[in-house]
Structure 1
Amino acid sequence: MRYRRFGKTNLNLSVFSLGTMRYLASEENARQTVYQAVLQGVNHLETARGYGKSEQYLGAAIKAGLPKTRSQLYITSKIAPIDADSMQRSIDESLAHLGLDYIDCLALHGINTWEHLKLIQQPGCMQAVQQAVVDGRVRHVGFSTHAPLEIILAAINTDLFEFVNLHYYYFFQHNAAAIALAAQKDMGVFIISPADKGGLLYTPPQKLQALCQPFSPLELNYRFLLSNPRITTLSMGAANVTELTAPLSVSDRTAALTPQEIAVLQRLERNQKDTLGSDRCSQCYECLPCPETINIPEVLRLRNLAVACDMTEYSKYRYGMFENAGHWFPGMKANRCTECGDCLPRCPEQLNIPTLLQDTHNRLSGREGRRLWD
């Protein structure tokens, strides 16, 4: 296991963190998963008030005894931005669930809209958080986000936070500017869900497997992230002990990408260009805003992956979240397009966006999705 400084917190975190959203089959399963992760070098455990019984289960695992002492472990919990009294109460409830007298890191959970950003800049929520820092219940403060890039950049620029949890993967690099800004401000960077949201890479389609040879798609994505020194740690949301194996097998491979790895990534890029041809969306985001609030770049990103890499199951999974996950995954489905044409002159590639949107809906519509804790 390798360790990296978590920005200005000065905590030295393992490059893989155990996210505890999915280990809830039972308290015993949670205990075994946490124990094995810590035994294999993980020193950062992450939970949230909104993850069912996650805090209680993590607290029980800590109480049962782990291979590291409390001072060798770093615990993060996340609480949605709320009023001052509710925030004070929630912090105390989290500590009680965890059986701890302090948590190392508190993330404001889901700074996803301009309204959320406005809320944390008003008296109340942040005053309560800062009071918890003063009295020692919380040691470091950051935020987690599923927001559009411009909101993430604005949140970083408030200078209220020491770290950020965000989405960024090989197949979704739009948030690179947020990582660069966070690094400039010496903030820790925690990558959310690289295996799942990063492409359902633990069950890759055959074509993607072939394109990534001699590596697995999951291994290649982990290496893409671990090779970036601006990134501190990656979440591994293991549901059980078995799911620790794949990420921890690369936990010591943090050096720059090898020539062979670079060649495979270039192969993936060529494949997209060759397969999609003039229908490839390059993710410039110039088409936004859409009058029907369709997240055009994300819809067309999912089409890119489904067509070029046979990542249809992943693309259906994510597409099904539109209109079902609120501010966690905003945007209307592609069939809401009225063919108004507003986006067409803004597209530098002159894509026939309305046609591509309808094609994407035809390919990917089906089951509706929900966030795990909705």
Structure 2
Amino acid sequence: MSYRRFGQTNLSLSVFSLGMMRCLASEDVAEQTVRRAIALGINHLETARGYGKSEQFLGAALQNGLTRSQLYITTKIAPTPDAETMERAIDESLQRLKVDYLDTLAIHGLNTWEHLAWVEAENGCMQAVRQAMADGRVRHVGFSTHGFLDVILAAIATNFFEFVNLHYSLFFQRNQAAIELAAQKDMGVFIISPADKAGLLYTPPQTLIDLCAPFSPLELNYRFLLSNPAITTLSVGAANPTELDLPLMKATQFLEAEAASALARLQTQQAQTLKTDLCSQCYACLPCPEGIHIPEVLRLRNLTIAYDMTRFGEYRYRMFENAGHWFPGNKANRCNDCGDCLPRCPENLDIPTLLRDAHQRLNGKPGRRLWQD
């Protein structure tokens, strides 16, 4: 296992962290998963108030012979408009985890401008967080986000935070600017869901397997991410001990010539299959009067056509209109051909036609996140 400095926190975290969102089967399974992770060299365990009984399960495991001083514990708490609510939430999380302090607390889901306003308010949630840091209940603070890049950059620019948890992967590089700004400010960077929400990479289509060879798509994504020194750690969301199969535990070179060749093949495949329909993800088409998240819809279409990532495309597309600020945007069938986006597209894409095609390919039964407002 390799370890990296988590920005200005100066914590030395394993490059893989155990994310406990899916460790919900039972207290016993959660403990077995935690013990397996520790045996593999993982020293960072991450949970949240919104993850069912995850905090309670982790608390029980910590009370059953695990050495707390050798582990770093993160929990995440949603932003609140007032300090009192956050104060109660911090104490409740400490009680559930059965610990006296949190190594790191993340404001969970700082996704909108309203959330950022709560954070910046004089009597908002950060007042309680600062008090908890002053009295030792919390040692370091950061934030997690599923928001748009401009919100993430603004949150980083507040200088309130020591780390950021965000989405970024081989197949979603929109947040590169946020990682660069975080590095400039010496913030730790934690990558959310580099397997599941990065492309259902545990169960990839054969086309993607062939393009990524000799690596699995999951391993290639890990190598891509860890080749960036600004990235500290990747979340591994195991539901049980058997899912902790980490191919890069002992790797030291994360992006060798073979991996670079695979990345080049992926780019060539995308260009050849999509041709003049390739969306470059510049986001110039937004905002859409109908609230369609045009770039994300077209990204899912890109992946479906180029790499046969249809299951992933359907999985994410069905989240639209069903997950609130965690995955914002309306479905593409709401397009009314107003043409507002057309003059802003540098590729001159026929966006309404591509939106209709994406909806036809990817629509199905709606899906929801584990938690939802």
Fold match (TM-score > 0.5)? yes
2:281 counterpart letter in structure 1 = Q
Q: In structure 1, the residue corresponding to 2:107 is in which secondary structure?
A: strand
Deviation at 1:373, TM superposition (A): 2.3
CA distance in 2, matches of 1:128, 1:255: 42
Residue in 1 aligned with 2:186? 186
Deviation at 1:255, TM superposition (A): 2.7
1:183 counterpart letter in structure 2 = A
Corresponding residue to 1:255 among 250, 253, 256? 253
Q: In structure 1, the residue corresponding to 2:179 is in which secondary structure?
A: helix
CA distance in 2, matches of 1:368, 1:251: 36
Residue in 1 aligned with 2:89? 90
Corresponding residue to 2:69 among 68, 71, 86? 71
More divergent stretch after superposition (181-190 vs 122-131): 122-131
CA distance in 1, matches of 2:83, 2:161: 17
Residue in 2 aligned with 1:283? 281
1:241-289 deviation per Cα after TM superposition (whole angstroms, max 9, x unaligned): 11101x2x20232435111110100000000000011111011111111
Residue in 2 aligned with 1:150? 150
2:152 counterpart letter in structure 1 = I
2:352 corresponds to 1:354: yes
CA RMSD of aligned residues (A): 0.8
Residue in 2 aligned with 1:344? 342
Residue in 2 aligned with 1:111? 110
1:14-63 deviation per Cα after TM superposition (whole angstroms, max 9, x unaligned): 00000000011111000000001011100000000111100000011111
Q: In structure 2, the residue corresponding to 1:59 is in which secondary structure?
A: helix
CA distance in 2, matches of 1:221, 1:309: 14
Residue in 2 aligned with 1:330? 328
TM-score normalized with structure 1 length: 0.98
1:45-82 deviation per Cα after TM superposition (whole angstroms, max 9, x unaligned): 0000111100000011111123xx21211000000011
Contact 1:3 1:13 in 2 (8 A): yes
Q: Count the aligned residue pairs.
A: 370
Contact 1:50 1:373 in 2 (8 A): yes
Q: Gapped runs of 5+ residues in structure 2?
A: none
1:230 counterpart letter in structure 2 = A
2:327 corresponds to 1:368: no
CA distance in 2, matches of 1:373, 1:287: 30
CA distance in 1, matches of 2:314, 2:227: 29
Q: In structure 2, the residue corresponding to 1:143 is in which secondary structure?
A: strand
Contact 1:76 1:103 in 2 (8 A): yes
Residue in 2 aligned with 1:221? 221
Residue in 2 aligned with 1:163? 163
Identity of aligned pairs, percent?
71
CA distance in 2, matches of 1:86, 1:288: 35
Q: In structure 2, the residue corresponding to 1:142 is in which secondary structure?
A: strand
Please give the residue correspondences for 1:10-29 in structure 2 after superposition, counting only pairs within 5 Å.
10-29=10-29
Q: Gapped runs of 5+ residues in structure 1?
A: none
CA distance in 2, matches of 1:280, 1:223: 25
Contact 1:223 1:254 in 2 (8 A): no
Residue in 1 aligned with 2:98? 99
Q: In structure 2, the residue corresponding to 1:48 is in which secondary structure?
A: coil
Contact 1:223 1:253 in 2 (8 A): no
Q: In structure 1, the residue corresponding to 2:244 is in which secondary structure?
A: helix
Q: In structure 2, the residue corresponding to 1:172 is in which secondary structure?
A: coil
TM-score normalized with structure 2 length: 0.98
CA distance in 2, matches of 1:290, 1:270: 30
Q: In structure 1, the residue corresponding to 2:346 is in which secondary structure?
A: coil
2:116 corresponds to 1:127: no
Deviation at 1:124, TM superposition (A): 2.6
Contact 1:322 1:329 in 2 (8 A): yes
